Structure formats: structure tokens, C-alpha cells
Amino acid sequence: NAGVTQTPKFQVLKTGQSMTLQCAQDMNHNSMYWYRQDPGMGLRLIYYSASEGTTDKGEVPNGYNVSRLNKREFSLRLESAAPSQTSVYFCASSEFRGGGSHEQFFGPGTRLTVL
């Protein structure tokens, strides 16, 4: 069981370049998420997918697009990278547990620098 995997681990882009961050989970979870983590800001939700075939905006969606390719995979695309998108990006997956909460399982993160 690999859990949640993310590629790449590190990436450096120039302003205006595009790239896709890949995420896959092997826990058969319905829900998947993309977050960004910046110093002093905690984790902020970019987009999420409650189930295969659906996606919704989170708190900070501008400049990003997502694709829920199938139940396992959820990708995040930066069409035209900007320095403000320099951050650590985390993918997560979850399944609703009785008792009112989703326990989220996180990948190891992608460290992105935009010059």
C-alpha cells in the first residue's frame, strides 16, 4: 500500500511556463484534494473532488485547473506559472467516516519554485 503518491517531488519553473502535478491514491477513496502550504498560512485548499467526475473550487483556485482522471488520479495544472505560486503542494484523499468527519491522508508534497 503506497497510500498517496505525488510527482514530481521538486520543480523549478520560469514565469509563464506550464506544468502538471500528478497525484494518485490506492486506498479506493472517493474524495481527493489539492492544497498549497505557505509559511505562516497553514494549508489552503485549491480544488477538491468529492467523487469521480466532479470537481469544486476551494479557497484559492485562481491560476489552477484540475482533472479527476479516474477514481485513483487527480492532477493539478498551472497554465502560466507566476512567482506567487511558489509553494509546497500537497495532494490528499479521504473517505467519510461515521461520526461526522473525513480523515484525510496526505502525499509527501511537491516543492515548486517559480522564478
Partner 1 sequence: TQLLEQSPQFLSIQEGENLTVYCNSSSVFSSLQWYRQEPGEGPVLLVTVVTGGEVKKLKRLTFQFGDARKDSSLHITAAQPGDTGLYLCAGSTETGANNLFFGTGTRLTVIP
> Footprint of partner 1 on this chain (CB under 8 A)?
4, 31, 33, 35, 40-45, 48, 50, 56, 58, 90, 92, 94, 96-97, 99-109
User: Least distance in Å: CB of 41 to partner 1?
Assistant: 7
User: Least distance in Å: CB of 48 to partner 1?
Assistant: 5
Cα dist. 31→38, 108, 109, 113 in Å?
A: 23, 18, 18, 27
User: Least distance in Å: CB of 4 to partner 1?
Assistant: 7
Amino acid at the residue 92:
A
Secondary structure element (H or E) that encloses residue 102, with its range: strand 101-106
- Nearer CB in complex with partner 1: 14/100: 100
- Nearer CB in complex with partner 1: 54/70: 54
Cα dist. 9→13, 16, 114 in Å?
A: 13, 20, 15
- Nearer CB in complex with partner 1: 53/99: 99
Is the previous residue joined to 8 through a cis bond, with omega within 30 degrees of 0?
A: yes
- Nearer CB in complex with partner 1: 33/64: 33
